[in-house]
Chains A and B, each alone.
Chain A
């Protein structure tokens, strides 16, 4: 996966032959060859010329426009031509299949959170750690026994209420505290990091889902509406802990991020500033390129994401198959 991230404010992107040229004023910052590019993510204010946008459209390179804090306003995508039967199949999936898929997603989310905590607790045990770990595995088992969506969402909620404070206990740098998860807006640096991280990953997943021709607004666990791409949020769940939460921990505990220098406070919330965003994105990309062991061999995280989206698509064509979310180990 090759992505151009533009987080520097006020730069220009122009087309030159086979390249996108990124300029700041008159100075050329970088040239990115188009044929190997897969997507462009613009954080905040960077301009693309019509020629550059058109070249991306021709090559089916989606351009996502995000706020500096990672909220996605929208994307530029070429018109889909031809076959759109997949979306109809998605809409026609049986309630039972949806519930089953939602159960698997919640279960995997809880188990992944549990493994992340267990790894941390092995190094630095806490008083409440063992209880939380046990509760999470108990909840994961309960998730499969629900018969409706509401109790399943309840289980997910209880899991989150137990998980985040315990995740906060794993932080080992002054100035970083996590008591509960707050969002819209995030109120402290840790929540700002999580929100930004989830948002970046969410947008990547959205793009992958669209590239596979799946309908992003048609989900199982989250019920979509016209504003909410439910399937993206569904498939994000299994990756939250292994990718973003663990990255957050390592950035804080290895003192790569600084509570004073890398954050800013505005509009009643706390957000990463420009240096913070750059540090985060750099580490995020490193993490996504690390090769990890899965059932189908060793591969970078990027490919695991694509593989999960593909598997979901297979389940749509073959509803007897139960979706198997990504699980650590």
Chain B
């Protein structure tokens, strides 16, 4: 389980919407095109696979930064939502 920072940039409104929709499922939106996702390796790979299908070579740019346990404690946050946590169960 690692925290991944995923940022994307694309000129296409359609692809941007789709990328955001996918990412919403895996993590938390912390800036307009920046997501924080706490994921096990398997799901991280699934996320990359799904984004890959939407990614257009030469036009888009998607970046994935894994944050190690060591540097996770040194993350500084100025404004915005709190750091994404591992998702837990929901009781309604």
Q: Which residues of A contact B (CB under 8 A)?
A: 1-8, 11, 17-19, 22, 29-30, 32-36, 278, 281-282, 285, 289
Inter-chain CA distance A146–B24, complex, in Å, is 56
* Residue of A1, A18, A29, A289 touching B24 (CB-CB under 8 A): A18
Q: In angstroms, how far is the closest chain B Cβ from the Cβ of A146?
A: 40
Q: Could you tell me if B91 and A18 are in contact, using CB atoms closer than 8 angstroms?
A: no
Dominant secondary structure at the A interface: mixed
CA distance A33 to B21 in the complex (A): 10
- Given known contacts A17-B24, A18-B24, is B89 in contact with A33 (CB within 8 Å)? no
Question: Are B26 and A7 in contact, with the CB atoms below 8 A?
Answer: no
Most buried by A among B24, B26, B90: B90
Inter-subunit contact B91/A17 (CB<8 Å): no
Of B22, B89, B90, the contact of A18 (CB 8 Å cutoff): B22
**Separation of A285 and B87 alpha carbons in the complex (Å):** 13
* A19 contacts across to B, CB distance below 8 A: 24-25
How far does the alpha carbon of A18 sit from the alpha carbon of B46 in the complex, in Å?
13
State whether A3 and B89 are in contact (beta carbons under 8 Å apart), knowing that A35-B43, A35-B47, A36-B43 are contacts in the complex.
yes
Q: Are A32 and B90 in contact (CB under 8 A)?
A: yes
Whole-angstrom distance between the alpha carbons of A5 and B26 in the complex? 19
5 contacts between A and B (CB under 8 A): A2-B90, A5-B92, A17-B24, A30-B90, A285-B88
**B7 within 8 A of partner (CB):** no
Q: Find chain B residues with CB under 8 A from A8 CB.
A: 92
Best-buried of B24, B25, B91 by chain A (most CB within 10 Å): B91
Q: Could you give, for residues 69-92 of chain B, a 1 whenever the CB lies within 8 Å of some chain A CB and a 0 otherwise?
A: 000000000000000000111111
Task: Check if A2 sits within 8 Å of B26, measured CB to CB.
Answer: no
Contact of A285 among B24, B25, B91 (CB under 8 A): B91
Contact of A5 among B22, B39, B46, B91 (CB under 8 A): B91
When the two chains form the complex, which single residue of A1, A22, A33 contacts B26, counting CB atoms closer than 8 Å?
A33
- Report the separation of the CA atoms of residues A18 and B24 in the bound assembly, to the nearest whole angstrom: 7
Q: Does B92 lie within 8 Å of A2, measured CB to CB?
A: no
A2-B91 contact in complex given A17-B21, A19-B25, A35-B47, C-beta closer than 8 Å:
no
Known: A2-B90, A7-B92, A278-B91; 20 extra A-B contacts, CB below 8 A, are A2-B88, A3-B89, A3-B90, A4-B92, A5-B92, A6-B92, A17-B24, A17-B25, A18-B21, A30-B90, A30-B92, A33-B24, A33-B87, A35-B43, A35-B47, A36-B25, A36-B43, A281-B91, A285-B89, A285-B91
How far apart are A203's CB and chain B's nearest CB, in angstroms?
14
In the bound complex, CA of A319 to CA of B88 (Å): 37
Task: List the B residue with the shortest CB-CB distance to A29.
Answer: B92
Residue B89 contacts which of A2, A7, A11, A35 (CB distance < 8 angstroms)? Answer: A2
Which residue of the partner chain, among A7, A33, A35, contacts B91 with CB atoms under 8 Å? A7
For A6, the chain B residues whose CB sits under 8 A away are 92
- Which of A7, A17, A18, A35 has most B Cβ within 10 Å? A35
Which chain B residues in 16-73 approach chain A with CB under 8 Å? 21-22, 24-26, 39, 43, 46-47
Name the residue of chain A whose CB is nearest to the CB of B38. A36
Known: A17-B24, A35-B47. A289 touches B88 (CB 8 A): yes
Min C-beta distance of A256 to chain B, whole Å: 15
